[in-house]
Copies of this chain bind each other. A is one copy, B any other.
Amino acid sequence: MNPIIRAEIITIGDEILFGQITDTNTQWIGAELTNIGIRPVRKTSVGDLQEDIISALTEASQRADVIIVTGGLGPTKDDITKHTFCKYFGSELKINEDALALVTEFFAKRGREMTELNIQQAALPTNCTYIPNLWGTAPGMWFEKDKVIYVSLPGVPYEMKSLMEHAILPRLKDRFVANIIQHKIIRTIGIGESFLAETIEDWENALPTHIKLAYLPHFGQVKLRLTATGNNQEILDSELKHQVDKLLPLIQDFVFGYDADELESVIGRLLIERDATIGAAESCTGGFVASQLTNIPGSSRYFEGSVVSYSNTIKMNVLGVSKQTLEDFGAVSEQTAREMAEGARKVLNTTYAISTTGIAGPDGGTPEKPVGTVWIACATPTETVTQLLTLRSIRKVNIELTSSYVLNLLRKTILKTAAEKI
Contacts and interface: CB of A to CB of B under 8 A. Distances in A.
Interface of A: 14-24, 26-32, 34, 40-47, 52, 56, 59, 74-77, 109-112, 115, 117-118, 135, 156, 158, 162, 192-198, 214-217, 225, 227, 280, 282, 285-291, 293-295, 297-300, 303-311, 313-314, 317-318, 347-349, 361-364, 390, 392-397, 399
Contacts of A309: 305
Nearest to A136: B393
- List the number of copies, as a whole number: 2
B27 A19 contact: yes
Contact of A308 (B46, B216, B287, B362): B287
Contacts of A392: 109-110
Given A18-B214, A115-B198, A305-B308, 18 more contacts: A19-B32, A20-B225, A43-B43, A59-B59, A75-B193, A75-B194, A111-B390, A156-B217, A280-B308, A286-B294, A287-B288, A287-B308, A288-B291, A291-B399, A295-B399, A300-B310, A304-B313, A305-B314
Contacts of A76: 193-194, 196-197, 215
Contact of A286 (B15, B290, B361, B364): B290
A117 B348 contact: no
Contact of A34 (B18, B31, B52, B298): B18
Contacts of A15: 214, 216, 225
A74 B299 CA distance: 37
Contacts of A289: 287
Given A41-B47, A197-B75, A361-B297, A14 B287 contact: no
Which of A20, A52, A192, A196 is most buried by chain B, counting CB atoms within 10 A of its CB?
Answer: A20
Nearest to A47: B41
A287 to B, nearest CB: 3
Contacts of A31: 18-20
A225 B298 CA distance: 39
A304 B310 contact: yes
A42 B41 contact: no
Contacts of A195: 115
Contacts of A20: 31, 214, 216, 225
A209 to B, nearest CB: 15
B192 A112 contact: yes
21 contacts: A15-B214, A17-B42, A18-B30, A19-B29, A19-B30, A20-B225, A21-B216, A44-B45, A75-B197, A76-B194, A76-B196, A76-B197, A135-B394, A294-B308, A294-B310, A300-B364, A305-B307, A307-B307, A308-B308, A318-B347, A318-B348
A280 B305 CA distance: 13
A218 B364 CA distance: 32
